[in-house]
Structure 1
């Protein structure tokens, strides 16, 4: 099925349904966003790299940009599970998010540059604060504010990551709150 935003949703595997049940339990506790992200990350880690997590349609890429597959959107809007499929060289813009987020690398590796927003007179600029390489099996989570970053696939093969957001991405179309087009300094 194609959503209005051009993302895709397709039937879930039994393994993915098991993961979604674990996320539902963690989110249902009603804890603060940072704690929820931590708990969801604990549930995601054992599923990364398993061959039967995604069906073939959920592993499909796009030639011009990374591809988003919506795997699950909870009916009450409390969370969504998305697979992002990245061909070599594909990247995001510098951005932040609408909600807490947990990401895990299912296949390949992702590179990430994290930024800090710094007032600069009457304007602002971004300063790179950390570069991270996330290999297969790695999990990270965060809750806004302070979640400004860029992600890309710098390896020579396809990368797939699983993202869990504390929002209804099927309805919103994206987890991105804001794209930053400010001057950046890659010096830390």
Structure 2
């Protein structure tokens, strides 16, 4: 039985889609690719969140843990970014798949020396995925409305607390 923190029916469908993808028993890169493929066909709508959750908060990007698989294989989190909010440059402890539900998330990618190597604007309905190593990035909401995304991580965030492995100091 799954630990469903949100009772939204769409979340049940999303969790089932992630389970289907992970049955292949592959490495992290394949897991990210397969989960992204499943999520593209099962990306829920904003009704997954309450209006209070969709509001975000002035202190920074706001995350809501919606599901933690009991076997620790994955978690589903919604993240809300107010206009102008950004993460610090960071990498992750596991693979991650992100689907944009509202707004645009601007992503900046970096190499291991923190040299910029690319950018992407992820729009509503777009799904991306990655796996360490090579996942150093920063997310910014460069739009005028809240950006809301659904994140699937290959770990149990209710146990580990965060998917971030390390934050990078860009001050030299």
Normalising by structure 1, report the TM-score: 0.84
Q: 2:81 matched to 1:104? A: no
Q: 2:141 matched to 1:153? A: yes
What's the secondary structure of 2:101's corresponding residue?
A: strand
RMSD of aligned Cα (Å): 1.8
Q: Which residue of 2 aligns with 1:171?
A: 159
Distance (Å, rounded) in 2 between the aligned partners of 1:12 and 1:28: 24
Q: Which residue of 2 aligns with 1:45?
A: 40
Task: Name the structure where strand makes up a greater proportion of residues.
Answer: 1
Deviates more, 1:175-184 or 1:128-137: 175-184
Q: Which residue of 2 aligns with 1:27?
A: 22
2:131 to 143, 146, 169: 143
Distance (Å, rounded) in 1 between the aligned partners of 2:92 and 2:26: 19
Q: By how many angstroms is 1:171 displaced?
A: 1.3
Q: 2:88 matched to 1:114? A: no
Q: Which residue of 2 aligns with 1:131?
A: 119
Shift in CA distance, 87/161, structure 1 to aligned 2, threshold 3 Å: same
* 2:14/2:43 contact within 8 Å kept: no
1:87 to 82, 86, 95: 82
What's the secondary structure of 2:26's corresponding residue?
A: coil
Unaligned runs of 5+ in 1: 1-8, 119-125
What's the secondary structure of 1:52's corresponding residue?
A: helix
1:126-146, CA deviations, whole angstroms, 9 ceiling, x for partnerless residues? 100001111111111111001
Normalising by structure 2, report the TM-score: 0.91
Unaligned runs of 5+ in 2: none
Q: By how many angstroms is 1:52 displaced?
A: 3.3
